[in-house]
Structure 1
Amino acid sequence: MVNKRKLTTRDLIMIGMLAAVCVLATSIKIPLPTGGMVHLGTAAIFITGILFGGVYAGLAAAIGSAFFDLLMGFSPYTIWSFFIKGAAGFTVGMMARGLWPEMISGDRWIFKAVLGMVLASFCTLGGYILAWWAVLGSVTVALGNSPSSVITSGIGLIVAMLIAPKLRHVLDKR
């Protein structure tokens, strides 16, 4: 049976707040010599997925990442980020929690969360290689930006695995 739950006002408020957290976390960045950047936005997306599921994480990641690009002058990447980061958030959330915050994916959620984050990292890497290639016009430059994506995803995974289990424990008790 499919859970046909609809978005409520509370859901929209939570998604908006989580999108704002994504923007703020993405603002915490370290520029790399390749022109890319390492930031904590991916960690925020991963944590959101682990805590709140695919719908919240997908929408918050899509909106927050796209808004960051618009706010910071990366407008050629806005639509790319919307879909790439939205898919990444949805992937992590579905693997770790299910569609909605109320759904629990069982006692092996940590394994599922790590698998979801790895899959989301590959999705992000592939998506941004295409985005960089399309925007910059060079596959060589796009591939040169790949290390920043891998580092950002790796840091995001580590930070999420340090923080999310504690927060999930607290939220699951509610």
Structure 2
Amino acid sequence: MFKKRSLAVRDIVFSGVLAAMCAIATSFKIPFGVGAMVHLGTAFLYTVGICFGGVYAGLAGAIGSAFYDLIMGFSPYTLWSFVIKGIAGLIVGVVAKGMWPAPVRPGEGRNWIWRAVLGCVLAAAWTLGGYIVAWWQVTGSLAIAFANMPGSLLTSGVGLIIAMILSPKLRKNVNQ
């Protein structure tokens, strides 16, 4: 089912660039609640997963989100973001594209859209559940954790919409 492949230098460089771009995209944010935010990092993560696959999206999400938290003063969430966003990127990427990037097949048509939406929804559910636990552990309050749910859902919804707008054009240019 999965093609066995190891990380090449090219993959590491791409992952590093995508992680940096993820951290930058996350910096475009609107604070919402305690520790929650609506940001473009999720839209970037979903777009990378749909276009490049699970490995790149997982690494970009894990490293980029953790780096953002560390640099911007959210250090209690750094490890949480590394795991939660890394797995979220892996989920959307594997469901939408597979583990590794592959050329768009001519006969693929619009079937990829349903896989992409499903991947984003599954990643959003994972992210919501993961951050509820993270908020609870960091703040010590389950009420605060549940109060941040709308922000997480809004971020995921905005990310899904933006990814579905950007991905059709970008997928045509990803020819690896």
Helix, strand or coil for the counterpart of 1:128?
helix
The one-character-per-residue Cα deviations of 1:1-36 (angstroms, maximum 9, x if unpaired) are 641111000000000000011000000001125552
CA-CA distance at 1:170 after TM superposition: 2.1
**TM-score of the superposed pair, with normalisation by structure 2:** 0.93
Unaligned runs of 5+ in 2: none
Are 2:143 and 1:140 aligned?
yes
Which runs of 5 or more residues in structure 1 are unaligned? none
CA contact (8 A) 1:98 1:104 kept: no
Aligned residues: 173
Percent identical residues: 59
SS of the aligned residue for 1:126 comes to helix
In the aligned structure 1, how far is the partner of 2:101 from the partner of 2:123?
A: 19
Counterpart contact for 2:22–2:41, Cα < 8 Å: yes
TM-score computed with the length of structure 1 as normaliser: 0.94
Partners of 2:140 and 2:11 lie apart in 1 by 39
Q: Quote the residue 1:70 is aligned against.
A: 70
Mapped partners of 1:155, 1:85: distance in 2: 16
Residue correspondence of structure 1 range 81-92 to structure 2 within 5 A: 81-92=81-92
> In structure 2, which of residues 158, 163, 166 is the aligned counterpart of residue 163 of structure 1?
166
What is the CA deviation profile of residues 82-134 of structure 1, one whole-angstrom value per residue up to 9, with x for unaligned ones? 01001110001001110101266854111000000000000000000000000
Counterpart amino acid of residue 59 in structure 2: L
Measured on the aligned residues, the alpha-carbon RMSD in Å equals: 1.5
